[in-house]
Amino acid sequence: MKYRYATVLMAGALLLGACGTAKEAPVTEVAAAQAAVQAEGGHNDTDVMYLQMMVAHHEQGLEMVRLAEERAGRPEIRTLAKAIDVTQADEVELMTGWLKQWSAPTEVDHAPSAHADHGGLPATGDEEIAALKKAKGAAFETAFLNLFVAHQHNAVEMAQLVTTKGSNAETRAFADRVKASRADQIKQMLQLMNG
Amino acid sequence: MRRSIAYPLVALGALGSTLVGAAPALAHGYVSAPPSRQALCASGAVANCGQIQFEPQSVEGPKGLRSCDGGVAGFSVLSDESRNWPAKAVGSTVTFTWVMTARHRTSNWEYFIGDKKVATVDGGNAQPDAVVTHNIDLSAFPGKQKVLAVWNIGDTVNAFYSCIDLNVGGSSGGSGGTTPTTAPTTKAPTTAPTTSAPTTAPTTTAPTRTSAPAVPIGESGAAWAPGVAYRTGDKVTYEGKTYQCRQSHSAIRSWEPSIYTLALWLPL
């Protein structure tokens, strides 16, 4: 985790290098890479709540895809899981970076009343993840694909919240990317489920 | 870095159900396997479905309907029999899998073929899991059938509808059979597009793939494109720059090389 984050930052530095703004940028230049994706401009409570909920949602998702990387029989499923792992892990870094930039807590508020009004409730239960951990073979694949389809549908639903009520441009753009990528992941998973 | 965040799920769900009474719920649920018509739209197996492809879980209407579209005008494609919906070959007992995105308190689930009720599964007015499966005996209904699956919500007047086209007894596997049935029996062929058909070519309803998705393989140095399977080490060009794939994946929207996808693409 730590190591992979460092490689991403290095890549960010290289990207800056390619743009000509920071030639020969040292790989340790963490701030430079983060600066490229700061959430400048104003933000509102919806932006904050969305990011907090999504950080928690992502970490639950990471737990599921990391099981699939190990347990899924079909290589297509393992590849999809791994690609989701690396992209979502970076998204977590991005989101927590924005929350810190806004001096907001990065942990979701555990009080259910904090989010009930907004409809963005997570659907995946801890008990279902526990059951997934015990599933084997084809049953694992079926359980993972269905559970993760539901999980990514929730991500799209939460993104809807911020694209209608959020105010920060970077957060809204992030939510748009979430909508597109998750819809396409669901498409792939439904194919894998019924192919 | 890793934090363990425990959702207070039971409490959330309880509040969620009161929320439903106050305002229309966000979404909801559909049959993912065997694929319902909305699942076929969302997977791309049936093209040109309109908005339903992005929200297959949203076919919500008042209880008591017998329609595939839940009475939602924007989803009328689901009731369009001219779309030649591919029927999944299944055994005589079928495992139906529901994907739930909001865990509404559940009165029951009902399964119909035509006007005949095939099965009722009690929901106990409890919250379902995010994934629910039912084993339904369809041995009395061999051959090509359209099953209407209904999720009746416990604390609203609404239900969620999914139609699943099956060829019962067509294979031994519950949902593992892959034989796509092609020729529809008595339904009208795909000549006259209905008024509800979306924009472009309404006749391209035949499923485009058979068993394995025919994914194009990345050609090194070519322009990045969605739908292509890239392997670690592949090079692509995108907006005038060259990138190298760092993690094998099938390209999808928003996964193009950028500052946001450095985990997938290394700028060279």
Could you read off the pLDDT of B177-205 as tens digits, one per residue?
444 444 333 344 443 444 444 444 444 44
Is residue A24's pLDDT more than 90? no
Q: Give the tokens for residue B87.
A: 């029927």
Q: Is A31 on the interface with B (CB under 8 A)?
A: no
Size of interface A-B (CB pairs under 8 A): 194
pTM for the model: 0.78
Report the gap between the CA of B232 and the closest CA in chain A (Å): 11
Helix, strand, coil percentages, rounded to 5, for chain B:
15, 35, 50
What residues of chain B lie within 8 A of the CB of A107, using their CB?
3, 5
Give the residue with greater pLDDT, A121 vs B219: B219
Nearest CA in chain A to B180: A195
pLDDT tens per residue across span B105-164: 899 999 999 999 999 999 999 988 899 999 999 999 999 999 999 999 998 999 999 999
Q: Is A195 on the interface with B (CB under 8 A)?
A: yes
What residues of chain A lie within 8 A of the CB of B15, using their CB?
112-113, 116
Query: Which of the four pLDDT bands, split at 50, 70 and 90, describes residue A110?
Result: low
Domain ranges of chain A: 7-194
Neighbours of B198 (CB within 10 A): 15
Distance CA B220, CA B237 (A): 9
Q: Is A151 on the interface with B (CB under 8 A)?
A: yes
Over residues B96-113, mean pLDDT: 93
Name A48's Cβ contacts closer than 8 Å, sequence gap at least 6.
A99, A102, A104
Is residue B77's pLDDT more than 90? yes
CATH of A7-194, one of 1.10.10.10, 3.40.50.970, 1.20.1440.130, 1.20.1260.10: 1.20.1260.10
Over residues B199-222, mean pLDDT: 54
Is residue A188's pLDDT more than 60? yes
Of residues B26, B212, B246, nearest to A119 (C-beta) = B26
Q: Is A180 on the interface with B (CB under 8 A)?
A: yes
